[in-house]
Structure 1
Amino acid sequence: MRDALNRALDTALAEDPATLVFGEDVGRLGGVFRVTDGLQRRHGADRVFDTPIAESGIVGLAVGLAMNGWRPVPEIQFDGFAYPAVDQIVNQMARMHYRSRGAAPMPITLRVPSFGGIQAPEHHGESLEALFAHVPGLRVAAPADPLDAYHLLLQSIRCEDPVVFLEPKARYWDRAPLPEDGWAAAPPMGAGRVVRAGRHATLVAWGAMVRRCLRAAELAAEDGVDLEVVDLRWLKPLDADTVAASAARTRRAVVVHEAPLTAGLGGEVAALITERAFRDLAAPVQRVTGFDVPYPAGPLEPQYLPTVDRILFAVQRTLEY
């Protein structure tokens, strides 16, 4: 996935001289996770450059650049570092196009290494999707595999709206075979996908949890339970049609995410399914999430993140109705 994101950034820089990539250590070092490795060497230090350690300044710079015709792709080094920039993200980046009555487009793609799974120190693992998805004016994307990471990032950079691009850091080292036609055609922007077809219940997830749901589906199949897995891809706007159609088909749904339960995005997905597929549901929508505690650091992380066992237990509960 890391290399796919690098290729997308390389493509975007090559096709549009107004595209800029910047953030803490993204230039000479190539980023903490090496996602921007080699980009400064290929495109120059005036287009791929390091910034001071000042997240609010990074996003504020991006807003000013976008107002002056540039297409900025700033990086927040870790998701937990985004909090100092929330004022700029919510009050400027998300609202400037509306506030200016369309005179100031905001083609900003804010890349944020996100979620858990690497047992990092405190402030280095967060699930901020509900915060950003709640803000009018922002689009939010979260790829689950290398090919989608490539397509979704390019779509985000080419988009005239501001996008918060949540990269599942636990999946940076994922490997996946390419289709026969290489990078293939991009999926429609905003479209989710059925990753695994099934008939007994639907698992809905995004980012790193898609892989975990697929593993749960494999184990459930050994007991004769056929689970469908839906990857949202885009968290704002949500692909309501794909999610509702899957839940109506299987008649049961479990939503899985890393963020805490209360006011998490899973509640929005559950409400959507209930509104769109109520007459077809045979059981209440279940949620498997993180707990209502601060995101833990290091060795406590495995106790916090949704496990395959917790997912399968939720499936068992919904099948008992």
Structure 2
Amino acid sequence: MTATLSTETRELTYVKAFNEGLAQVMRSDEDVFLAGEDVAGYGGVFHMFDGLLGEFGSRRVVDTPISEAALVGMGVGAAARGLRPVVDLMFMDFLAVCLDQVVNQAAKMKYMFGGAVSVPLTITTASGAGLGAAAQHSQSLEAWLAHVPGLKVCMPATAYDAKGLIVAAVRDDNPVVVMLNKVLLGARDVVPAEIYEVPLGAARVVRQGEDVTIVALGRMVTEAVRAAEELAGAGVRAEVIDLRTVQPLDMTTVLDSVRRTNRVLVVHEAVTFGGIGAEIAAQVQDEAFDYLDAPVLRIGAPFAPVPFSPVLERAYVPDAARIVAGCRRLLERG
């Protein structure tokens, strides 16, 4: 659970909260610097880094050439030498351009050097569909990263978590990928003014219930809450869990819930096939099979590229209606 904070709170957007958390951790540690394409003068394509150049100057907020491989490679080297770089990939899809640096260098270096080297590297990126950005700028690829030992992967669903997770990521001594959801950038939440961390690997029970568990990631947390509210009108009490991070994965919170509700639905924006929902379903089957009154159900995107057409894109991304329908299927099978 997140520690109670005593300072003032106010309402911030998701992107402003992220920006504030990064600025605060940069103030607290001079070894932290930011690098990426258009992060300095422009403040990032989604304005995640507005104002940082003016406060920290061009030595700590650095625009780079359009080369994700060079950018992440630089970050790995800087981290191994004792700095705490934050490198921005702009769009999640660009991960494919620098997979070697992420998977074979950042993730493996501590192991390859027998623990003598730490890689406190933070990679920030924007993921998900919903803005009509088409197939090469709209993917959710968290399952790729969660499969790699040595990496940690965060997916904040609220402004509160966007701030707390970026602080925790930068302070961690391992490479951490922070995936911000593009559709959530303007979402508002009450956020403390002081610096704080949201622990990596600690899920949050967003809404308590007794009839079915909905496990959600990123933007799907909002859809899951909407679904739970609709189900409540029909007398169904759905529990909603926000995983917050997919690596490490907080299965303790999930399993505790499943043992009470006896039914579980996992929803993510990524393609259903091979998604993190499959891992959660497998672990639930292993650890809580005797408690299940119905098979684990997964909801995700179809096995297809993200469409450019707004109409098709809306049909592609899971929503509250599909979650409600899934929960009703689970209840009927129990």
TM-score interval, normalised by the smaller of the two chains: over 0.9
1:123-134 alignment, distance < 5 Å: 123-134=136-147
Q: Which residue of 2 aligns with 1:118?
A: 131
Q: In 1, Cα distance between the equivalents of 2:36 and 2:196? A: 30
SS in 1 for 2:173: coil
After superposition, where does 1:228-239 map in structure 2 within 5 Å? 228-239=239-250
Amino acid at match of 1:192: A
The aligned residue for residue 93 of structure 1 is 106
* Aligned counterparts of 1:13 and 1:316: Cα–Cα separation in 2: 47
Instruction: Provide the rounded CA distance (Å) in 2 between the counterparts of 1:183 and 1:196.
Output: 26
Equivalent residue for 2:201? 190
Aligned twin of 1:166:
179
1:272 Cα deviation from its structure 2 partner? 1.5
Quote the offset at 1:117 in angstroms: 2.0
CA distance in 2, matches of 1:186, 1:153: 8
Corresponding position of 1:213: 224
Which of structure 1's runs of 4+ aligned residues deviate more than 4 A? 181-185
**Residue 301 (structure 1) aligns with:** 313
Q: How big is the shift at 1:184?
A: 8.3
Distance 1:260 1:122 in 2: 12
Q: What is the percentage of aligned positions where both structures have the same residue?
A: 43
CA contact (8 A) 1:203 1:256 kept: yes
* 2:331 equivalent to 1:315: no
Change (3 A) 1:259 1:23: same
Segments of 5+ residues of structure 2 without an aligned counterpart are 1-13
Q: How many pairs align?
A: 319
In 2, Cα distance between the equivalents of 1:65 and 1:150? Answer: 24
1:115, distance to aligned residue in structure 2 (A): 1.3
Could you state the TM-score of these two structures normalised by the residue count of structure 2? 0.93
Q: Give, as a single letter, the amino acid of the residue that structure 2 aligns with 1:20.
A: F
Deviations 1:226-246 (A, max 9, x none): 111000001001001001001
SS at match of 2:72: helix
Encode CA deviations 1:235-277: one digit per residue, 9 max, x unaligned.
0010010010011111100000111111111000111212221
Partner Cα separation in structure 1 for residue 258 and residue 198 of structure 2? 21
8 A contact 1:125–1:297 mirrored in 2: no
**What is residue 175 of structure 1 aligned with on the other side?**
188
**What's the CA shift string for 1:142-192, capped at 9, x where partnerless?**
1100001111110010000100111111101001124xx655864433100
Quick check: 1:4 aligned with 2:17? yes
1:253 maps to which of 260, 264, 283: 264
Do structure 1's residue 265 and structure 2's residue 276 form an aligned pair? yes
What is the alpha-carbon distance in structure 2 between the residues aligned to residue 297 and residue 52 of structure 1? 28
- Partners of 1:205 and 1:213 within 8 A in 2: yes
Indicate how the Cα distance of structure 1 residues 185 and 15 shifts in structure 2: closer, same or farther if over 3 A, else same.
closer
Unaligned runs of 5+ in 1: none
Asked whether the equivalents of residues 38 and 63 of structure 2 are also in contact (C-alpha less than 8 Å), the reply is yes
Paired letter, 1:229:
V
TM-score by length of 1: 0.97
**Counterpart residue number, 1:149:** 162
Which residue is equivalent to 2:153?
A: 140
Q: What's the CA shift for 1:12?
A: 1.4
Q: Match for 1:165: what amino acid?
A: V
